[in-house]
Amino acid sequence: MKIVVVGKGGREHALAKKLKESSLVTELWVCPGNPGMAQAGISCAPFESPEMIERFCLENKVSLVVVGPEAAILSDLKKNLEAQGIPCFAPSRAVAELESSKLFCKGILHDAQVPTAKCVVSYTTADAVLAVEKHDFSSPLVVKADGLAQGKGVWVCESRAKAVEAVETLGTQFGYPLLLEECLIGKELSAFALCDGKDFVLLGTACDYKRITPDPFSANTGGMGAYSPCDFISQEDEQTIRDIFAKTLTCLEAKKMPYQGFLFAGLMKTDKGIYVLEYNVRMGDPETQALLPRIKTDLLKLIVSAVTHELKNQACELSKKASVHVVAVSQGYPQTQMLLGNPISYPEKANLVSDLYFAGVSEKQNHLVNSGGRVLGVTALADSIQAARAQAYQDMRKISFEGMYMREDIGL
């Protein structure tokens, strides 16, 4: 099979590497990919727009397209490819509203009877302020914008004054409706399912580190590292997570919006059970780089089964080993002013125990340089999280570029 993976980050590097292990693959390209992937032996084709990707797929007789980022999922890519008879593993734009509208997501969670935080929806500032007044602040109030907000649309507010400020800021920046939610206290995790519209296979769990430093009030990022599996998830919890996915898929199917693609549940394990915070309609970045190296089952075979609606009774076998993924970012990230364009020094593959995944890199005079916020990451697999952590950091010390920064507590 000839495969195209769409995207250019560390997540797509990990997806491409895993899919290439499949006996079904004859050729695989990443569109557009990045020069780091290319140096690691993955073919990249420099096409990013849906039209260019479609043309490339037709010219090269591509048999399946696997989409990474939500921007491509929300584009016409899937519709256009399918119109040309090329299967595209991604949810439809209609059901992708699960990620792009928190209100839509809440409605589905409610109808599917999946536990989620209690929530009031406000369509005007007056309504929202009234809802803030009614909250007693014995626990914080979470104020959320409805649409995609690049990590800036959620404020967890400990006081009434803060909540009013959140309403004013989010209402002005992103408009209405706003969601005002009960604050769930517990441990956060990400769970991933591969879905065929009706059935699904649970891929596994991972925990990511969203803040730039260990300070929980420091700036939000795309993700500074991850480990897998989540060590606080019991067998019973895993069954609860399966039930959550099953109920959600059944509800979506009943609404004539069958979900096919990767489904990412952002979950909170509280002392009252597991709640869904949000759904994303894609794999997580960097959770993918932590989870995929643990997958032993042929991932491409699972995706092909999903596309042909034959996932029932299939399973994904995971290595018993734990993984830790550490991300290196450019100086200045997550602000827009960053120190970029500096050569990256990294050892030959044989001198690294971990897998190396590239994200924000470009090529200058045959040399890789950092060109984005999240630049690269390494994933180590070992018998324990502690051992994987030690290995990942040992390998990270062999990599450098001017201004390189990483968190030191991934997997701690």
Q: Which is nearer to ligand AMP, 112 or 404 (CB)?
A: 112
Q: Which residues contact 313 (CB under 8 A, 6 or more apart)?
A: none
State the amino acid at position 106 in one-letter form.
K
Which of these segments, 38-46, 154-162, 278-286, 346-354, binds ligand GLY (CB under 6 A)?
278-286
Binding mask 190-219 for ligand GLY (x = CB under 6 A): ------------------x-----------
Binding mask 214-253 for ligand GLY (x = CB under 6 A): ---------x------------------------------
Site for ligand AMP in 108-127 (CB under 6 A): 117
Whether 291 and 18 have beta carbons less than 8 Å apart is answered as: no
Least Å from the CB of residue 7 to ligand AMP: 20
- Which 3 state secondary structure label does DSSP give 311? coil
Q: Which of 287, 298, 355, 395 binds ligand GLY (CB under 6 A)?
A: 287
Q: Which of 146, 181, 237, 285 binds ligand GLY (CB under 6 A)?
A: 285
Q: Which residues contact 259 (CB under 8 A, 6 or more apart)?
A: 91, 95, 98, 195, 197, 248, 249, 252, 253
Q: Is 53 in the site for ligand AMP (CB under 6 A)?
A: no
Which of the listed partners (ligand AMP, ligand GLY, none) does 180 bind, with a CB threshold of 5 to 8 Å by partner kind? Answer: none
Q: Is 266 in the site for ligand AMP (CB under 6 A)?
A: yes
Which of these segments, 29-37, 182-190, 329-337, 391-399, binds ligand AMP (CB under 6 A)?
182-190
CA distance 55 to 15: 22
Binding mask 195-224 for ligand AMP (x = CB under 6 A): ------------------------------
CA distance 112 to 88: 26
Q: Which of 142, 189, 249, 380 binds ligand AMP (CB under 6 A)?
A: 142
Whether 247 and 112 have beta carbons less than 8 Å apart is answered as: yes
Which of these segments, 39-47, 104-112, 252-260, 279-287, binds ligand GLY (CB under 6 A)?
279-287
Q: Which of 22, 92, 205, 280 binds ligand GLY (CB under 6 A)?
A: 280
Tell me the sheet residues that pair with 276. 116, 267
Q: Is 156 in the site for ligand AMP (CB under 6 A)?
A: yes
Whether 406 and 225 have beta carbons less than 8 Å apart is answered as: yes
**Which structure tokens are listed for 141?**
């109030």
Whether 65 and 7 have beta carbons less than 8 Å apart is answered as: no
State the amino acid at position 271 in one-letter form.
D
State the amino acid at position 76 in one-letter form.
D
Residue ranges with strand state E in 216-321: 225-228, 259-270, 273-280
Whether 274 and 236 have beta carbons less than 8 Å apart is answered as: no
Which of the listed partners (ligand GLY, ligand AMP, none) does 223 bind, with a CB threshold of 5 to 8 Å by partner kind? Answer: ligand GLY
Report which of 362, 353, 361, 367 is spatially closest to residue 395, judged by C-alpha positions: 353
Which of the listed partners (ligand GLY, ligand AMP, none) does 164 bind, with a CB threshold of 5 to 8 Å by partner kind? Answer: none
Least Å from the CB of residue 151 to ligand AMP: 7
Q: State which H helix or E strand residue 300 sits in.
A: helix 299-307
Q: DSSP label at 293?
A: G
- Respond yes or no on whether the N-terminal peptide bond of residue 334 is cis (omega within 30° of 0): yes
Q: Is 154 in the site for ligand AMP (CB under 6 A)?
A: yes
Least Å from the CB of residue 100 to ligand AMP: 11
Give CA separation, 251 vs 95, 108, 174, in Å: 12, 7, 29
Q: Which is nearer to ligand AMP, 181 or 196 (CB)?
A: 181
Task: Return residues touching ligand GLY (CB under 6 A).
Answer: 208, 223, 280, 284-285, 287
Task: Return residues touching ligand AMP (CB under 6 A).
Answer: 117, 142, 154, 156, 181, 183-184, 188, 266, 277-278
